[in-house]
Amino acid sequence: MKRIRFSSLMLVLGLLFIYLPMLILVIYSFNASKLVTVWGGWSIKWYVGLLDNTQLMGSVLRSLEIACYTAVAAVALGTLAAFVLTRITRFKGRTLFGGLVTAPLVMPEVITGLSLLLLFVAMAQMIGWPQERGIVTIWIAHTTFCAAYVAVVVSARLRELDLSIEEAAMDLGARPWKVFFLITIPMIAPSLAAGGMMSFALSLDDLVLASFVSGPGSTTLPMEVFSAVRLGVKPEINAVASLILLAVSIVTFMVWFFSRRAEEARKKAIQQAIEESAADSWKQPDVRRAPAPEAA
């Protein structure tokens, strides 16, 4: 009888610990009973009922909108911060700048949310903006801490890159901005995708920051779920969560698939360029100068 390795057993247990609750959630989203914890047979009525629950669907669409905006802004700001930390190694205040970039990672969300709330209130009193808290303030709050995650992920990738490729491009006359967009960005594309997905998930999951900086008419999905849990979980919540899991899984698979194809194409192009350069070197004629004839 084949013995099961300890590492394989721990891997299986870890995967079950992570994904078994999600599987149970999906199964109970088809529960016909109005009681969430009591199984009453299979039914899709809760998915059909989502079309009539305008409040819940509005919070879902609002959360997805904020998460998309947050992912784009966090990737842009986090990439710039990572580029400064890894490529500009010597400037005054570099240590302070690095600490400010990574501070949201260790700062409690309650403190961050309260600080942003006081900031928005003070700005409204001084310059008249924002007049009311809503989607924009939630987006700014989410971007502040999601950009830190992107900066950490992208900076780790930038430190692994071979600078000789970028230096060779600049030696051939390419401008820095062209090197950044045509060479650096494609090489760090997987880390950008990972940072964007992480920002999207963190924004979609956030409750604390949104509770501080949201206003009337800007309730997000976590806030809606939290308020529903206090009064009793509704079966529609399971259906919404299952649809979000499906959407996130599809997006994750697509990002992984296209990132893998892009990486394979890049490696193939590099290998082809190496082979072509080697072939050209073999085809070059021997141009060594013949020895001069001896004088009589």
Instruction: Give the C-alpha separation, 46 to 105, whole Å.
Output: 38
Q: Is 64 helix (H, G, I), strand (E, B) or coil?
A: helix
Q: What are φ and ψ of residue 42, in 5° steps?
A: -90, 140
Angle 42-46-48 (CA atoms, 0-180°, nearest 5)? 110
3-state helix, strand, coil in the chain (%, to 5): 75, 0, 25
CB neighbours of residue 78 within 10 Å: 28
The architecture in CATH of the region 65-232 reads: Orthogonal Bundle (1.10)
Query: What's the one-letter identity of residue 245?
Result: L
Residue 272 is predicted with a pLDDT of: 80
Give the pLDDT of the chain (296 residues) as one tens digit per residue: 456 688 888 999 999 999 999 999 899 989 988 877 788 889 998 898 888 888 888 998 999 999 999 999 999 999 999 999 998 878 888 889 999 999 999 999 999 999 999 999 999 999 999 989 999 999 999 999 999 999 999 999 999 888 888 888 888 888 888 888 888 998 898 899 889 999 998 999 899 999 999 998 899 999 988 887 777 777 888 888 888 888 888 888 887 888 788 778 877 877 787 777 677 666 655 555 555 555 54
DSSP H stretches of helix in 88-220: 94-106, 109-126, 135-160, 163-171, 176-179, 185-187, 189-205, 208-213
Sorted by where each begins, the domain ranges of the chain are 65-232
Residue 296 is predicted with a pLDDT of: 47
Best CA proximity match to 239, nearest among 69, 98, 36, 95 = 36
Q: The pTM is what? A: 0.82
Query: What's the one-letter identity of residue 227?
Result: S
Do you know the residue count of the chain? Answer: 296
